[in-house]
Structure 1
Amino acid sequence: MVQVLAIVLVFGLLVFIHELGHLLLAKRAGILCREFAIGMGPKLFSFVKGETRYTLRLLPIGGFVRMAGEDPEVIEIHHGQDVGLTFDKDGKVTHIILTNIRNHPEATVVTVKEADLEHQLLIRGIEDGEEVSYPVHPKAVILQHNQETQIAPYDRQFGSKTVGQRAAAIFAGPLANFLLAFVLLTGLGLAYGVPVDKPIIGQTIPDQPAAQAGLKQGDKVLSVAGKPMNTWKDIVQIVSASPGKELTFVIEREGEQFSVPVTPVKEGEIGKIGVYSPTSKSPLGAAKYGAVTTYEFSKLIYQMLGKLFTGQVPVQELSGPVGIFNYTYKAAENGLVVLVQWAAALSVNLGIMNLLPLPALDGGRLVFIGIEALRGRPIDPQKEGMVHFLGFAFLMVLILVVTWNDIQRFF
């Protein structure tokens, strides 16, 4: 049960932070964000705060921020349509009622001749046989079938913003994932200390060879099997290469030197004696550890992508949602430190994958914004939408393929 909860928390956190990055930068640019969703598919739970509906959906395979102007507005007001209007104290329309107008006796009924809710913000029509024109409040809402939808004036739409503002809103999602990895790893460094490459015994594991031989945390290892030890890596290298072989450790403790025989146990193909590396605790060291490890995760993922595209790693080796859930479950079984490290690696992975220049991903959208910046005008929205649709379809097929690979590996 704890492992299942860990999976939910890890994936929820990664998606939440990613979409929060989009949301914050979009709102900062003045874009109307209609929905902030975690998950896909049918809604499980939702609430409205300010201008945005926050939604939890059934399928835990991602999330989205629905910004005004990215998709065509789904509600249209047609010529000749009867609508009910309510006003604020300044005479501006605050509610446009499209259905069940009779249930709103306070509303003024107008037969629409023109409704411009993007640029001029006005409604012209016929009221009691006379032509009227009413200004519309920029935050007016349309009421249809008891559902309220805020209008989106052009200056609140995604497409109205500068290239830089739109690029920032898109890039903010992956950037948030890199920042999350840094924060998680820095937190580990502050809580548990940062590994240091010194020939000193860290924490020992009970009933393992090091503890049984009398080694203690803080012991300085001068030599092993006659070879001088200058770094922690030197100790790991000789112990790993000597499973089942007795090694003589020369130890310095409180100014005294003595020898201790230790026999590494065999785990897989390598030897282990049951000790952790030495650590140090400092805010600066923790921050450096967070930054360096985030960079190392990023480099490793890019190397794997390079091998994938060159055929050195077959597609069959890729893991989809099922495989990642399984690995997260195993990480949770190995304790909080391993789980947090795994979450940080996943967060970096999510950031990098979203930056790939593929349609439907953040990277693909950034490519279109970059092309617009170079040519000085946007690409036809219908053509761009078709490219993203095809890209999304390809991604869905890829997810199905790697999920099938996961199922075959497990069963």
Structure 2
Amino acid sequence: MTQVLAIILVFGLLVFFHELGHLLLAKRAGILCREFAIGMGPKIFSFIKGETRYTLRLLPIGGFVRMAGEDPEQVVIERGQDMGLEFDKEGRVVRIISTDFANHPQAHMLTVENADLEKELVIRGIEDGERVSYPVHPQAMFLHKHQEIQIAPLDRQFGSKTIGQRAAAIFAGPFFNFILAFVLLTVMGLSYGVPVNKPVMGEVIASSAASQAGLKPGDEVLDINGTPITSWADMVKIVSSSPGKELTFTVRRGQETIQKKVVPASDPQSKTGKIGVYQPLSRSLTGAASYGAKTTYDFSKLIYTSLLKLFTGAVPVKDLSGPVGIFNYTAKAAENGMAILLQWTAALSVNLGIINLLPLPALDGGRLLFLLIEAVRGRPVDPNKEGMVHFLGFAFLMLLILVVTWNDIQKFF
């Protein structure tokens, strides 16, 4: 049960931050965001705050932010259609009712001649035999079959924004995954400490070679057998290459300089020398933030290198893992403690950010590529053609997921 909960929390966190990036930058650009969803499929729970419906869906395999203008507009009014209108104190239409008129007896009935809900924000028609024209509130609601939909004037739609604003709203999703990784790794550094590359004794294991020689936590190693030591790595290099050999450690303990004879034990697996001392740890905010930034960069570099090997054929497709494999590894990470789970979640978050930035159809990177083409051409690509490219890209991704899922089933079952 703990493993299942860990999987749900990890994937929920990754998707939440990714979609939060899209949502915040889209709202900042003035785009109407109709829905913020975690998960796919049927709704489990939802609520409305402001202009946006926040939804939790059944399948934990992704999420989305539904922005006005990305899909065909849901509010369609045809000539000759009977509509009920409700007004605010300034005489602007705030609710347009297309069905169930009996439950809205206060509405003014109108036979529509034309309605412009994107530019002019006006409805014209026949009311009681006379032609009338009413201004429409930019946040008016359209009521159809018990479902309310907010209208989307042109300046609230995704396509009306500048290329920079649209690119920022798209890029923010992957970027927030990098932020999440940095935050998780910084929290990990603060909670568990960050290794410090100083030649200082951290925790000394009881009954180890260091303990038997009289070395203590906080001892600063100045030299070993006369060789100056300036970093933890220097000390490890000498100790690991000297199993069973007596070494003379010159250490500073407080104001005193002393020498200790240490014989490193031989590790039964690696055959290298070990003296039983942990690297010193720092729990400072600056150290933790530095660790978070460096490790996020290291994860990014490793994933990019792996992707390059995949595209060049150095890594076969059969070595890829899909949802089943990731679920399995997440469960194992949860078994190994919170530190490992935090590190694994950060790695997954970086991976999600990088994958989404690939210039492939149906991914954020593919959408950014179309914006780049629009910037170069001076006009957007035909929406139908772009939609077809994204559809084919999505189909390819689904096929790839099926392939890697089959790989996972063969590996783990």
Structure 1 and Structure 2 fold alike (TM over 0.5): yes
Q: Are positions 1:201 and 2:201 aligned together?
A: yes
What's the CA shift for 1:377? 0.7
Secondary structure at the counterpart of residue 24 of structure 1 = helix
Equivalent residue for 2:244? 246
Equivalent residue for 1:79? 79
Equivalent residue for 1:357? 359
**2-structure distance, mates of 1:227, 1:4:** 52
Equivalent residue for 1:116? 116
Q: 1:275/1:15 Cα in 2 relative to 1: closer, same or farther (>3 Å)?
A: farther
Q: Are positions 1:284 and 2:289 aligned together?
A: no
**2-structure distance, mates of 1:269, 1:314:** 33
**1-structure distance, mates of 2:326, 2:68:** 33
Q: Residue 333 of structure 2 contacts residue 341 of structure 2 at CA under 8 Å; is this kept in 1?
A: yes
1:338 to 337, 340, 355: 340
Equivalent residue for 1:134? 134
Aligned-pair RMSD on alpha carbons?
2.4
What's the CA shift for 1:231? 3.2
What's the CA shift for 1:30? 0.3
What's the CA shift for 1:285? 2.5
For 2:360, give the aligned amino acid: L
Q: 1:275/1:305 Cα in 2 relative to 1: closer, same or farther (>3 Å)?
A: farther
**2-structure distance, mates of 1:398, 1:213:** 58
Q: 1:316/1:237 Cα in 2 relative to 1: closer, same or farther (>3 Å)?
A: farther
Identity %: 71
Q: 1:148/1:274 Cα in 2 relative to 1: closer, same or farther (>3 Å)?
A: farther
Q: Residue 93 of structure 1 contacts residue 137 of structure 1 at CA under 8 Å; is this kept in 2?
A: yes
Alignment of 1:249-260 (within 5 A): 249-251=247-249, 252=251, 254=253, 255-260=257-262
TM-score by length of 1: 0.92
Structure 1: gaps of 5 or more residues: none
Q: How many matched pairs?
A: 409
Secondary structure at the counterpart of residue 343 of structure 1 = helix
Secondary structure at the counterpart of residue 35 of structure 1 = strand
Alignment of 1:10-409 (within 5 A): 10-204=10-204, 216-221=216-221, 230-237=230-237, 245-251=243-249, 252=251, 254=253, 255-267=257-269, 275-409=277-411
Secondary structure at the counterpart of residue 266 of structure 1 = coil
For 1:61, give the aligned amino acid: I
**2-structure distance, mates of 1:257, 1:55:** 66
Q: Residue 198 of structure 1 contacts residue 232 of structure 1 at CA under 8 Å; is this kept in 2?
A: yes
TM-score by length of 2: 0.91
Equivalent residue for 2:8? 8
**2-structure distance, mates of 1:406, 1:91:** 62
What's the CA shift for 1:345? 1.4
What's the CA shift for 1:6? 2.2
Q: Residue 17 of structure 2 contacts residue 177 of structure 2 at CA under 8 Å; is this kept in 1?
A: yes
Secondary structure at the counterpart of residue 263 of structure 2 = strand
Deviations along 1:280-311, one digit per CA (max 9) or x if unpaired, are 23333222222222111111111111111111
Q: 1:271/1:319 Cα in 2 relative to 1: closer, same or farther (>3 Å)?
A: farther
Q: 1:221/1:410 Cα in 2 relative to 1: closer, same or farther (>3 Å)?
A: farther
Q: Residue 265 of structure 1 contacts residue 273 of structure 1 at CA under 8 Å; is this kept in 2?
A: no
Q: 1:354/1:205 Cα in 2 relative to 1: closer, same or farther (>3 Å)?
A: farther
**2-structure distance, mates of 1:268, 1:386:** 55
**1-structure distance, mates of 2:247, 2:334:** 34
